[in-house]
Amino acid sequence: MTKLFKSSFLFVLYAYLYIPIIVLIANSFNQSRFGFHWQGFSMRWYEALFNNDSLLTAAGHSITIALLSATAATAIGTLTSVALYRYRFRSKAMVNGMLFVVMMSPDIVMAIALLTLFLALGFSLGFWSLLAAHITFCLPFVVVTVYSRLNGFDKNMLEAAKDLGATEGTTFWKIIFPLARPAVAAGWLLSFTLSLDDVIISSFVTGPDYQILPLRIYSMVKIGVSPDVNALATLLLVASLFLVVLAQLLLKDKK
């Protein structure tokens, strides 16, 4: 009885998480334009998608930003974790505090703060402002992931490396980085996901010249999203799943 209860509870919650996605995927193959009424299987929205340049460009921009910001946030975040773990420095409290501020302040506050900054600096809104914003909001998540992994290490190993004459750079590349790699990979994936999913901050810090997917959709949503967006979302979901499964398989082989 309890087992039945548990399984059905889990089933209901997974259903809650997945039904909208299933409806979205189904609609991408639906002949009908409106609502969920099934009018036959069709690939017409996929065809429409491949003729919809502005939507494809926006998707391309989103993926570019996600790849670049995840990589940069992971690099900076990993260095930050190493510095917080290894060194004492005067601004350490400030670094911790600022990371906490990024984590804890609502997205909308960060969005307007960055908008104010970019306007005050006379920075034109677009690719660079978007990239800087995404790197910043991903940063604490990388730091938390990597730092918790570093914390489990035996510090004697680092002492040994030092005694054997390794410089800080060598210690980082030969010892810390390889050991922290799973956490670094997890941080990258988390950043990539966060960047791709962000609506709030992006909608403030990008300009008309650099359209990204969420904003393109946001401007369509009020009138009703055309089903080629469903087709695009389906393709992106499949691509992400494929990449993650591939990454898992590659990591397993290494063991």
Question: Under rule CB under 8 A, which residues in 3-32 are in contact with another protein?
Answer: 6, 9-10, 13-14, 16-21, 23-24, 27
Q: Which residue's CB is nearer to another protein, number 52 or number 230?
A: 230
Question: Site for another protein (CB under 8 A): which residue of 115, 175, 179, 185?
Answer: 115
The Cα-based distances of 5 to 2, 14, 19 in angstroms read: 5, 14, 20
Question: Site for another protein (CB under 8 A): which residue of 15, 241, 246, 247?
Answer: 241
Q: Which amino acid is at 44?
A: R
- The tally of CA atoms less than 13 A away on the side-chain side of residue 150 is 22
- Residue 156 beta carbon to another protein: minimum distance, rounded to whole angstroms: 18
Number of residues that bind another protein (CB under 8 A): 73
- The structure tokens 């506050």 sit at 109
What is the chain's length? Answer: 255
CA quadruple 215, 216, 217, 223: dihedral sign: positive
User: Footprint of another protein on residues 215-234 (CB under 8 A)?
Assistant: 217-218, 221, 225, 229-230, 233
Backbone dihedral angles phi then psi of residue 31, each to the nearest 5 degrees: -60, -40
Backbone dihedral angles phi then psi of residue 41, each to the nearest 5 degrees: -75, 140
Write the CB contacts of 220 (distance below 8 Å, at least 6 apart in sequence): 226, 229
87 binds another protein (CB under 8 A): yes
Question: Site for another protein (CB under 8 A): which residue of 68, 107, 126, 181?
Answer: 107
Q: What does the per-residue mask of binding to another protein show for 165-204, with x meaning CB under 8 A?
A: --xxx--x--------------------x--xx-xx---x
Question: What does the alpha-carbon distance between residue 13 and residue 11 come to, in Å, rounded to a whole number?
Answer: 6
Question: Site for another protein (CB under 8 A): which residue of 30, 52, 74, 80?
Answer: 80
- Residue 46 beta carbon to another protein: minimum distance, rounded to whole angstroms: 16
Question: What does the alpha-carbon distance between residue 71 and residue 7 come to, in Å, rounded to a whole number?
Answer: 39
Question: Site for another protein (CB under 8 A): which residue of 43, 157, 160, 237?
Answer: 237
The Cα-based distances of 19 to 12, 16, 33 in angstroms read: 10, 6, 19
**28: its two tokens:** 């991408």
Q: Which residue's CB is nearer to another protein, number 56 or number 98?
A: 98
- Residue 43 beta carbon to another protein: minimum distance, rounded to whole angstroms: 19
Question: Site for another protein (CB under 8 A): which residue of 56, 63, 117, 179?
Answer: 117
If DSSP codes are grouped into helix, strand and coil, which group holds residue 41? strand
Question: Site for another protein (CB under 8 A): which residue of 15, 43, 94, 160?
Answer: 94
